[in-house]
Amino acid sequence: MASPRYLIGGGEKLSEEVTRPPRGFGDKAHPYTFNEAVQRLAPQLAEVRSGLAALTELACPGGDTVVGVTLHPTYLAKSYYPSNLIDELKLQHLGSRAVHITPSKVVTNKSANDPRPQPAPLIYLGGRRERLLRFAELLPDWRPVEQKVRAEFREIEKISLPEPERAKPLPDTDPEKLLPLEIVLHAKAGDGEYVVEGFDRFVRSLGLSVDVDRRRQSSGLCFLPMYAPKAAVPQILNFSFLRALRSMPRIIPLDPAVRSLVPGFKVTLPTEAASAPELKVAILDGGLPANHGLEKWVTRKKAPGVGNAISAAQSHGLAVTSAFLFGPLNTKGPQPIPPADVDHWRILGDDTASDDFELFSVLDRIEYVLDSRPYDFVNISLGPDCAIEDDDVNAWTSTLDALLADGETVATVACGNNGESDVTLGLHRIQPPSDGVNMIAVGASDCMDPEWQRAPYSAWGPGRSPGYVKPDLVSFGGTPSSPFLVLTGPSDGTGTQGTSFAAPLALRSGALMRAQFDDPLWAPTIKGLLVHHAHPGKNSRAEVGWGRVSHSLLDLVTCQDGEAHIVYQRQMPVSGAVRLYLPVPPNLSGNVEIRATFCFFCDVDPEDTINYTRGGLEIQFRPDTHKLAPPYYKDGKLITPKLPPTDTFFGSDDFYAPEFMRRDDAQKWETTLTRSKTKRASSLNDPAFDVSHITRSHGATSGRRPAIKFALVLTLKNKAPDLYDRVVAASRNRLQPMVPREEVRVRAQSEI
């Protein structure tokens, strides 16, 4: 039998640093002149002035207040952030979010012919109330000296006080009944302490109290728990620095009890040690029962402060751990050897069972685990019981995205079992923290057959933008007719269902890939490989994201006739760009199918939901790097290009649903991109991707360009059956097949 053709590694050896490609934006069509902007905005600012004057001193901590500035939809890009105007008015950026508006004037034919509201950035700005009152009075005669300030002022479509929609829908209950609420304030750690103290004084004046000691800080947002009746919400909304008010969600395992869907059966566990015991894996869940029988591979741990164990949560924890170690159990023989050993952290206890604010306590425990030691793989199959919203980020999401931003850990998160909830209200959408950009959100498929579908209970996307494609992946999660078989004891099993088990199964696929080779695979590479080989079947992207993870390790780590999978692992230079050459062999005939998946992790700005990720990639595909584009005339001048021509590859039109975020640069800020393109082999001459690292901070241009690691998974397909060998030969030995560990060499043939 022929030896398997394993993944080809070393793609980064086909790269070189190049000059950053020029970014030509052309002439900008502006909807308003400065004088028109003054005339339009003077009445709005007068209304803001009346609202500010009516606020009490307690509603404006330290004499400061907040206004919302909405830019015209044509100014979405970071280069139009009004930094000079903000400095001129001595204001402070607090955050931003996306709104959809119909502007008074449009500047493009595309917008004129599209009656739908357009996405626009709403920026929250803080400053002295007295100064804002004075500016509103002086605006009709205001003529700033700086031309940049004038230019940025005309970008504004609307000025307003923070909107009432900051209060999310609350339960239909007695208006005087105390409800557990989550309060979100614009308040930075340290600098924003006066805001938190001011809110404490403000709610005390209403006869209420807030638990300041249990607050959670996430960049420029502060999350606070409090009790308040529904009738008091309009008064609470008067506090200037309030970002959001909503019901405090409860923390539940996403499938809280292991439901027996089949009669119990006996299980024979393997006797061998894990394939790659050096890998560090953590499962954060409900704990394990005393007689779990997994001591050979699992170490029980509990987070500080956690209460006594809950039996149902332990059953859930055992089932989740079983799913990672063995996948769906085999009823007719011994189970497969686990890919790695596991630290199972119990983060649920009876201390939070009656705690309305357990969201904060459980998140504290997760943060402790991930902050105290490095893990290669992590699974979380529990979270807040609420669907995501486009305009605000959850404390769980922002905390985990920050903890995982270094790109060292592959983390899978179950996306939720609310897929059959009301679609019109958005209650079917994925649950936090699976909307994060630095983790893998996993939904569930209904079976392992080729004709699979999304399991009915599995939560849907889309996610927020960035992070639009959610769930990232789906994996088998079980149904009543095809249950997911898990352990209930050291030698007993049963059947269950839930995204709780699909998530660790997907993580198992990643760990098996890592355990397969001597060469290290980075966390972005593992995520990229899972996405690259996922297939959506007949399901929509909103339901299954990029598709179902292959349940065969063979599909993930080997190549078939006529195809070559190449892995690039590269760190971006602090300046400049990287050219990644595609190893297309010479003398190919016919067509070449090119599939490329880019993946990276990055820092985030939780308070800026419209500009959440701080890093992005600009990717240009050049089919022929030896030919320059022909000269052309622009504005009467002859332009002679100095770079090879580009061809579209990662475009936005086929990526975003038109009813969501229709912005030209949106895909540049996504942390995962995957596309396919077919080209004539004769048109390819040392083709390459030119990749530039772009950064932003709070939606504005950022001069700091931190080093990030990214991965490219590339597949070339052609009718030549020996394509794999020709790709390696054409690289002049810079590319080499990845070397499997001797002891797991044969296991590539097995099912996951």
Tens-digit pLDDT profile for residues 180-199: 999 999 999 888 899 999 99
Q: Across residues 614-620, what is the average pLDDT?
A: 91
Give me the pLDDT at residue 661, please: 42
Q: How far apart are CA 380 and CA 432, in angstroms?
A: 11
Q: Coil, helix or strand for 301? A: strand
| Tokens describing residue 586 | 């010479």
Q: Identity (one letter) of the amino acid at 14? A: L
Q: Across residues 317-339, what is the average pLDDT?
A: 94
Whole-prediction pTM: 0.93
pLDDT in tens, 511-550: 999 999 988 999 999 999 999 999 999 999 999 999 999 9
Give me the pLDDT at residue 733, please: 85
| Helices 358-372, 395-403: inter-axial angle, 10-degree rounding | 0
pLDDT in tens, 42-92: 999 999 999 999 999 999 999 999 999 999 988 888 888 999 999 999 999
| Helices 34-54, 129-138: inter-axial angle, 10-degree rounding | 140
pLDDT in tens, 683-736: 999 999 999 998 888 777 766 667 789 999 999 999 999 999 999 998 988 999
Higher model confidence: residue 128 or residue 644?
128
pLDDT bracket for residue 665 (50, 70, 90)? low
Phi-psi region of 626 (alpha: psi -120 to 50; beta: other; left: phi over 0): alpha
Q: Coil, helix or strand for 566? A: strand
Give me the pLDDT at residue 565, please: 98
Give me the pLDDT at residue 748, please: 46
The yes-or-no verdict on residue 29 having pLDDT over 50 is yes
pLDDT in tens, 272-307: 999 999 999 999 999 999 989 999 999 999 999 999
Closest by Cα among 594, 578, 615 to 691: 578
In our burial notation (b when 16+ CB lie closer than 10 A, e otherwise), range 33-60 reads: ebeebbebbeebbeebbeebeeeeebbb
| Tokens describing residue 386 | 């609420």
Per the prediction, the chain carries an average pLDDT of 90
